[in-house]
Amino acid sequence: MNLFDLTGKKALVTGAGSPSGLGRAMAQALQEQGAEVAILSRSARIFDIAREDGFFGIQADLVDREALKRGFDEALAHLGALDILVNAHGITKVHPAETFPVAEWDKMLEINLTSVFLLCQMAARIMIPKAHGKIINLASMTTFFGSTLIPSYAASKGGVGQLTRALANEWAGQGINVNAIAPGYMDTEMTAGLKTNHARRQEIFMRIPAGRFGTAGDIKGIAVFLASQASDYVHGAIIPVDGGYLGR
């Protein structure tokens, strides 16, 4: 028996609109193990990625709750069922806390936290009747510590951690696994600014025992594990993939 086989499973992955992003890598990983995958993003690049990788692409802005529901329903209509939900979408904005714009705060919480809850809720309504399902959220290093200049991002990712645990408490007994992956510093579009900030980049490197930033490929294995029957007794976990950053 292959514990990691996903043949016949139906998966929705959000936030897969970046060519080098974590969402795309996780979608590829699920597909490589046999799952049929729909991907959802606000970016129009989603259709290019879907065409290149053989996914079903859906464009929807998750800050808009009606668009979120439409995108989810479109994915479900195409897949015909839902076994796996991966919430990999998110944004960040950098401002000092004392001048952080309230409108940016609201948008961040809506996209990074509220939309995650709504997608989990819609998925659970499908998964509970069949007593099986896998929900994977994307946490962060800021789920564990506060950082600086990104108060709304830190608050939202702290919330994702607690939401993951809360939903696991409610749904584990109904056959649904809710867990989260907490990526460390990954070489993606979101961390592109660090490439021009040599001092900050070196500061981070000094705390990573692995001696490098992570890549999108580094996230594939944990995504397959949490989506497969290999993790059937794993509930409410927030698993770091950080090159040892948290252990330093």
pLDDT value of residue 192:
67
The whole-angstrom separation of Cα 139 and Cα 135 is 13
Which H/E stretch holds residue 147?
none
CA–CA gap between residue 241 and residue 82 (Å, rounded): 26
Average pLDDT over residues 33-43: 97
Q: pLDDT confidence of 195, banded at 50, 70, 90?
A: low
Query: pLDDT value at position 205?
Result: 83
Other CB atoms within 10 A of residue 105 CB: 17
* Cα–Cα distance measured from residue 88 to residue 49, given in angstroms and rounded to the nearest whole number: 15
Q: Is 185 a catalytic residue?
A: no
Average pLDDT over residues 200-219: 89
CB atoms within 10 A of CB 210: 13
pTM over 0.75: yes
Euclidean distance between CA atoms 82 and 40, whole angstroms: 14
Can you tell me the mean pLDDT for 13-38?
A: 96
Sign of the alpha-carbon dihedral angle for 174, 180, 79, 75: positive
CATH of domain 10-243: 3.40.50.720
Examine the pLDDT at 151 and tell me if it is beyond 80: yes
Residue 181 backbone class (left: φ over 0; alpha: ψ -120 to 50; beta: rest): beta
Q: Which amino acid is at 8?
A: G
pLDDT of residue 197: 76
At 27 the three-state DSSP class reads: helix
Q: Which residues of 134-143 are buried (b: 16+ CB within 10 A; e: fewer)?
A: bbbbbbbbbb
- Mean pLDDT over all residues of the chain? 95
pLDDT at 201 over 80: no
pLDDT one-digit tens code per residue, 122-138: 999 999 999 999 999 99
